[in-house]
Copies of this chain bind each other. A is one copy, B any other.
Amino acid sequence: MVAASSFITSLLTSLLVFIVLVLVFAWLSRRASNKYVYYPALLVKGRPIPDPTQTRSPWAWMKEAWQATEDEIVEVAGLDAAIYINLFTTALKIIFWTSCFCLPILIPLAVTDKNNKLQEQDPTKSANFTGLDDIAMGNIQEKSQRLWAFLIGGYWLSFVTYYILRQTYKHVIELRAKDQSDIRAKPEQFTCLVRDIPPLLKNETRSEQVDTFFRQVHPDTYEKTLLVTKLDKASKLWTEVETAKNKLAHAEAVFEQSKTKEAPEGERPMHKTGKFGLYGPKVDSINHWNEQIKELTPKLQEEQKRTVSEEQQGAAIVFFNSRRAAAEAAQERHSAFSDRWEVLPAPEPRAVVWDNMHVRFYQRLVREKVVYVITFFTIVFYMIPIAIIASFTTLDNLTKILPFIKSIVNIPALKTVIQAYLPQIALIVFLALLPKLLLALSKAEGIISQDHLVRAACGKMYYFVVFNVFLGFTIFGTLFQSADSIDQLRSSGQFSFNSIVELFGASLPPNATYFITFVALKFFIGYGLEISRLIPLVVFHLKKRYLCKTEKELADAWNPGSFSYLPSVPNDLLIITITMAYAVIAPLILPFAFAYFGIGWFVQRNQALKVYIPEFESGGRMWPHIHSRILVGLFVSQITMLGYFSVKKFAFVVLLLPLPFLTILFSNICHKVYYPSFQVVAIEVASEEVKEVPTLTSVVDAFTPTCLLIASEVNDNDKYEDANFQDAESQLPSRTSSGIASPADLPAAAAAAGIGV
């Protein structure tokens, strides 16, 4: 349990750190040399960046974030970013309306009661409470009539959440519809993915087969098809060529720079050929890489030819002549058997996961099940280490284990700080290790688009954090602290649902303050670092100084990428879940949660507008994911209340029973009414007219894997272009059923491919 003093300390220190970081940001962002760190999005979009000469208030960025409209955000940062910011808006609304009831009514009721005092006086119990505990439901006496107010609070929270979630879902669907009926059509809107193509008949090629089928079922709208091929070999070679080219460019740049007045001929850069240039014979880099390219390029082209002709899979990408036709096809069931000719909307070209495109029906089925089982075990058995951490990271335990730190922690000021932060830091560090694993698991499921991968991993991560951080820390943290609850658990024999709920309820309030500090830490420090971008700043300047020689290398150095949804979304959702769980039991958490999402809202808007550059768009598919997770949070909080009310021996707790069922019902309805809009494009939307129809060729090229584009096309400053043009033409047709891409189109191909790099 965290003492009131250390609680206050942690808050103040956090606040201090945050303010410092914001000032640092304000100061740094003014210097022109840092524009690549603080305004990359503006630079890429060619928008004006704040003038470094005139002084800006440290809070100017907040003003700008505030003034930006949602359309502006969609325009600059894409729909996904706008959706992500909607998560903050929604959370703020929910928290605000909940506070309207909980703060003015529940807190006074709690403060004026005296349960904790009575407990402390009671000699049989070894209870000790901090001032914070007195303003929570824990301070209400058993069977007190005041509990009615808290019960009403439970209903208030639930209905506020339902109402606002419904509102937001509608809003988001409209955003998505607007984006999809945009007059500037995107390539994926003319495209479908076909999976589970039945086995070939004799003397019939894959492309003939696909062609015949779609000519028959979509005679007027089907354009052409692009077969999915196994790319690993080709892409390996392609990467080698690319690296060689970059190294060459680098070497040439070095050579140029070495030409000074005193040594006008300069000196040719040399390097060792062994790993990391540590050993092996020293060679002239420029020549070496030139030879490498000369040697590899024909090999690559060989491999490209082989791939398109021999590595064909049972999947294809088909193109239609209108947005509406593609939308229709993607909704339609083509074969009487679902395990044949499955047609689904194509992901955005840049987001395609080529390795998974061809995974067949039954394989997908099995993979999915297996992954779910593994995930389940991951989630459950991470619980043990977390529990141990939770129990060890109290300072006293630590000093027991590591006696040598005693000397440090005897400094009282330091002691309180450590005491306040140690558990949280332990927790945060522990959680930072997970995402990679979950991404890998999700990929094993056979998911076909990057954005879906991220969502799937987020989902797993969310359940992980709720189960381990929230439930795990609450229950086990308590188990290790209070003997009674262990007895309680033992007495109840096996882990029956009731016993868990009760124990859980019982162990909540002590942890309230813990989670409040957890939230406070996360938002002050977390967002402070986010806005000030200290780490990227340092990294960028180091790279710029010592590594980057060519423009390309520099661009890579400052490219901020897109929002890191994977750790952020589940963590934000965790905060919402915690907030909902404590909103009624310890309403004090509400203002902190509000601050978290409030500051988050400003910071993320700023980052969306000025920093991050999305790598691909999912069309707002993140929302249904967020929506259902918020409902899970609400469900958890309702179960929690049930538990805590029954601990209070409140007879009318039964009145809370309908709530969880209401939540399930609500979620079903939303799933029925709104979710489908995120799987497919409604015909009404797809029928909106299009101004700029992309040419078929550009669409096809957008969906051509980069490593199958003629190597020479990708890089502009290249010498082999003309040499390979003939091959390019001659082999391109073999790539698709009906042949594409007259040489005139190849630059377009290059462009499209460029994005994909």
**Separation of A136 and B676 alpha carbons in the complex (Å):** 53
A674 at the interface (CB under 8 A from B): yes
Assuming A173-B336, A332-B683, A335-B682, what are 11 further A-B pairs, CB within 8 angstroms?
A: A217-B684, A328-B328, A331-B332, A333-B676, A333-B680, A333-B682, A335-B684, A336-B685, A338-B672, A338-B674, A341-B684
CB-based closest 9 A-B pairs: A336-B682, A338-B673, A336-B677, A177-B336, A217-B683, A332-B683, A217-B687, A331-B332, A333-B682
On whether the beta carbons of A683 and B337 are closer than 8 Å, the reply is no
Enumerate chain B residues within 8 angstroms of A217, measured Cβ to Cβ.
Answer: 683-684, 687
On whether the beta carbons of A682 and B331 are closer than 8 Å, the reply is no
A44 at the interface (CB under 8 A from B): no
Enumerate chain B residues within 8 angstroms of A69, measured Cβ to Cβ.
Answer: none
Q: Can you show 26 pairs from A to B with CB atoms below 8 A apart? A: A170-B337, A174-B336, A213-B684, A216-B684, A217-B683, A328-B332, A331-B331, A331-B332, A331-B333, A332-B683, A333-B680, A333-B682, A334-B682, A335-B684, A336-B684, A336-B685, A337-B673, A337-B674, A337-B677, A338-B672, A338-B673, A338-B676, A338-B677, A365-B669, A365-B672, A369-B665
Enumerate chain B residues within 8 angstroms of A677, measured Cβ to Cβ.
Answer: 333, 336-338
Enumerate chain B residues within 8 angstroms of A216, measured Cβ to Cβ.
Answer: 684, 687
* A332: contacting residue among B173, B332, B338, B341, CB under 8 A: B332
A745 at the interface (CB under 8 A from B): no
A291 at the interface (CB under 8 A from B): no
**Separation of A331 and B676 alpha carbons in the complex (Å):** 13
Enumerate chain B residues within 8 angstroms of A680, measured Cβ to Cβ.
Answer: 333
Q: Which of A333, A338, A677, A680 has the most CB of B within 10 A?
A: A333
**Separation of A170 and B337 alpha carbons in the complex (Å):** 8
* Contact A333 to B683, CB < 8 A, known contacts A338-B674, A674-B338, A676-B338: yes
Q: In chain A between 639 and 670, which residues have their CB closer than 8 angstroms to a CB of chain B? A: 665, 669
* Contact A683 to B173, CB < 8 A, known contacts A339-B673, A673-B339: no
CB distance from A163 to the nearest CB of B (A): 16
On whether the beta carbons of A173 and B331 are closer than 8 Å, the reply is no
How many identical subunits does the complex contain? 2
**Separation of A331 and B369 alpha carbons in the complex (Å):** 28
**Separation of A684 and B177 alpha carbons in the complex (Å):** 29
Task: Provide the A172-206 mask, 1 if CB < 8 A to any CB of B, else 0.
Answer: 01101100000000000000000000000000000
Enumerate chain B residues within 8 angstroms of A339, measured Cβ to Cβ.
Answer: 673
CB distance from A356 to the nearest CB of B (A): 18
Q: In chain A between 669 and 718, which residues have their CB closer than 8 angstroms to a CB of chain B? A: 669, 672-674, 676-677, 680, 682-685, 687
Enumerate chain B residues within 8 angstroms of A334, measured Cβ to Cβ.
Answer: 682-684
**Separation of A534 and B687 alpha carbons in the complex (Å):** 61
**A324 nearest in chain B by CB position:** B217
Enumerate chain B residues within 8 angstroms of A174, measured Cβ to Cβ.
Answer: 336
Q: In chain A between 376 and 391, which residues have their CB closer than 8 angstroms to a CB of chain B? A: none
**Separation of A369 and B672 alpha carbons in the complex (Å):** 14
Q: In chain A between 331 and 387, which residues have their CB closer than 8 angstroms to a CB of chain B? A: 331-339, 341, 361, 365, 369
**A675 nearest in chain B by CB position:** B338
Enumerate chain B residues within 8 angstroms of A684, measured Cβ to Cβ.
Answer: 213, 216-217, 334-336, 341
**Separation of A369 and B662 alpha carbons in the complex (Å):** 12
Q: Which of A176, A673, A674 has the most CB of B within 10 A?
A: A673
**A327 nearest in chain B by CB position:** B332
**Separation of A209 and B148 alpha carbons in the complex (Å):** 50
Enumerate chain B residues within 8 angstroms of A338, measured Cβ to Cβ.
Answer: 672-674, 676-677
**Separation of A501 and B213 alpha carbons in the complex (Å):** 52
Enumerate chain B residues within 8 angstroms of A682, measured Cβ to Cβ.
Answer: 333-336
**A343 nearest in chain B by CB position:** B683
**Separation of A545 and B385 alpha carbons in the complex (Å):** 89
**Separation of A665 and B372 alpha carbons in the complex (Å):** 14
**Separation of A682 and B685 alpha carbons in the complex (Å):** 23
CB distance from A30 to the nearest CB of B (A): 45
**Separation of A684 and B365 alpha carbons in the complex (Å):** 24
Task: Provide the A537-556 mask, 1 if CB < 8 A to any CB of B, else 0.
Answer: 00000000000000000000
**Separation of A673 and B364 alpha carbons in the complex (Å):** 13
Enumerate chain B residues within 8 angstroms of A665, measured Cβ to Cβ.
Answer: 369
Enumerate chain B residues within 8 angstroms of A213, measured Cβ to Cβ.
Answer: 684
Q: In chain A between 124 and 183, which residues have their CB closer than 8 angstroms to a CB of chain B? A: 170, 173-174, 176-177
Q: Which of A333, A336, A683 has the most CB of B within 10 A?
A: A336
CB distance from A241 to the nearest CB of B (A): 43
Enumerate chain B residues within 8 angstroms of A177, measured Cβ to Cβ.
Answer: 336
CB distance from A645 to the nearest CB of B (A): 23
Q: In chain A between 435 and 476, which residues have their CB closer than 8 angstroms to a CB of chain B? A: none
**A369 nearest in chain B by CB position:** B665
**A180 nearest in chain B by CB position:** B336
**Separation of A672 and B333 alpha carbons in the complex (Å):** 12
Enumerate chain B residues within 8 angstroms of A674, measured Cβ to Cβ.
Answer: 337-338
Enumerate chain B residues within 8 angstroms of A676, measured Cβ to Cβ.
Answer: 333, 338
Q: In chain A between 297 and 345, which residues have their CB closer than 8 angstroms to a CB of chain B? A: 328, 331-339, 341
CB distance from A685 to the nearest CB of B (A): 6
**A176 nearest in chain B by CB position:** B336
Q: In chain A between 240 and 293, which residues have their CB closer than 8 angstroms to a CB of chain B? A: none
**A174 nearest in chain B by CB position:** B336
**Separation of A334 and B683 alpha carbons in the complex (Å):** 5
Enumerate chain B residues within 8 angstroms of A337, measured Cβ to Cβ.
Answer: 170, 173, 673-674, 677
Q: Which of A328, A676, A680 has the most CB of B within 10 A?
A: A328
Q: Which of A334, A338, A365, A672 has the most CB of B within 10 A?
A: A338
Enumerate chain B residues within 8 angstroms of A669, measured Cβ to Cβ.
Answer: 365
CB distance from A658 to the nearest CB of B (A): 13
CB distance from A656 to the nearest CB of B (A): 20
CB distance from A320 to the nearest CB of B (A): 13
